[in-house]
Amino acid sequence: MKRSRAAYETYEFHSVYHGLYNYCVLDLSAFYLDVLKDRLYTSPPGSRARRSAQSALNIIVDTLTRIQAPILVFTAEDVWAHMPKTNARPASVHLAALPEVKKSFVDANLAERWKYLLALRADVSKAVEEARGQKMIGHSLDAAVTLSLPKVFLETVKATVEELRTIFIVSEVTIVSGEQLDGAYQSTSMPDLWIRIDRAAGEKCERCWIHDLSVGADEMHKTICSRCVEALKAAKI
């Protein structure tokens, strides 16, 4: 956002285009939207996880539409017309101001942690692809990932340990410290990082596709996991 505003000030419209393109392709399509699918598709409609994702997407589409409006005039107006109507949202995107960076959204420590997590995700993806090439697994959700991390990175990962399964799009993640794992993939970009891929335990949930030992435990829903059972109950299905 900051770079786009600066580019408009100096009439470097190509920089705005490249920034938008890279953000949509690399950050949204290749990562964020892929990770978000699970909670959007399977979480209860009123759950905090799903509603927070929808709130983030609303902010993203509002911001992107405003930024592209000066150079993609009709596209931005068309998108704006399909967005939810609110009292704070003008009738036309061309009556709205360019977005500004909110200080509350800027967190250097969080950005640094996510820089590491994204690098970790890239290595996990390589290990998963190797396992797929060896016919050990088919889809990434067939995988159980064991990470051996140096102690210096353990605290970084522990803060988001519950989210790692979603970030990596696998069924299970286990973390150990400083062990050389047998049959593991050794990272070429991160020192002392070992990644072992095993086939995930449990049956595949037909609703969320995650392998879980709870699949079949509910008498009323024999083919789905306990998480999906709770989601259906919350949605009164």
Q: Is the pLDDT confidence value at 160 over 90? A: no
Model pLDDT, residue 197: 97
Model pLDDT, residue 10: 96
Model pLDDT, residue 150: 85
| Greater pLDDT, 29 or 160 | 29
100: exposed, middle or buried (Cβ count in 10 Å: 0-12, 13-18, 19+): exposed
24: exposed, middle or buried (Cβ count in 10 Å: 0-12, 13-18, 19+): middle
Share of the chain above pLDDT 90, in %: 80
Q: How far apart are CA 158 and CA 165, in angstroms?
A: 13
Q: How far apart are CA 169 and CA 66, in angstroms?
A: 31
Mean pLDDT is lowest, of 15-24, 63-72, 111-120, 153-162, for 153-162
Q: Is the pLDDT confidence value at 64 over 90? A: yes
Confidence grade of residue 181 (pLDDT, cut at 50, 70, 90):
confident
pLDDT (tens digit, 9 = 90+) per residue, 184-227? Answer: 999 988 888 999 999 999 999 999 999 999 999 999 999 999 99
Q: Is the pLDDT confidence value at 159 over 80? A: no
> Among candidates 100, 80, 97, which has minimal Cα distance to 4?
100
Domains and CATH numbers, the chain: 2-105 (1.10.730.10), 108-201 (3.30.2320.20)
Model pLDDT, residue 156: 79
Model pLDDT, residue 142: 98
Model pLDDT, residue 161: 80
Confidence grade of residue 86 (pLDDT, cut at 50, 70, 90):
confident
Instruction: State mean pLDDT over 30-40.
Output: 95
DSSP for 82-127, written as a single string: TSPP-TTS-SSGGGSPPP---GGG--HHHHHHHHHHHHHHHHHHHH
Phi, psi of 195 (to 5 degrees): -130, 120
pLDDT (tens digit, 9 = 90+) per residue, 41-51? Answer: 999 999 999 99
Instruction: State mean pLDDT over 98-111.
Output: 92
Model pLDDT, residue 69: 97
Average pLDDT of the chain? 93
Share of the chain above pLDDT 70, in %: 100
Model pLDDT, residue 1: 87
DSSP for 220-237, written as a single string: S-TTS-HHHHHHHHHTT-
pLDDT (tens digit, 9 = 90+) per residue, 131-157? Answer: 999 999 999 999 999 999 988 888 778
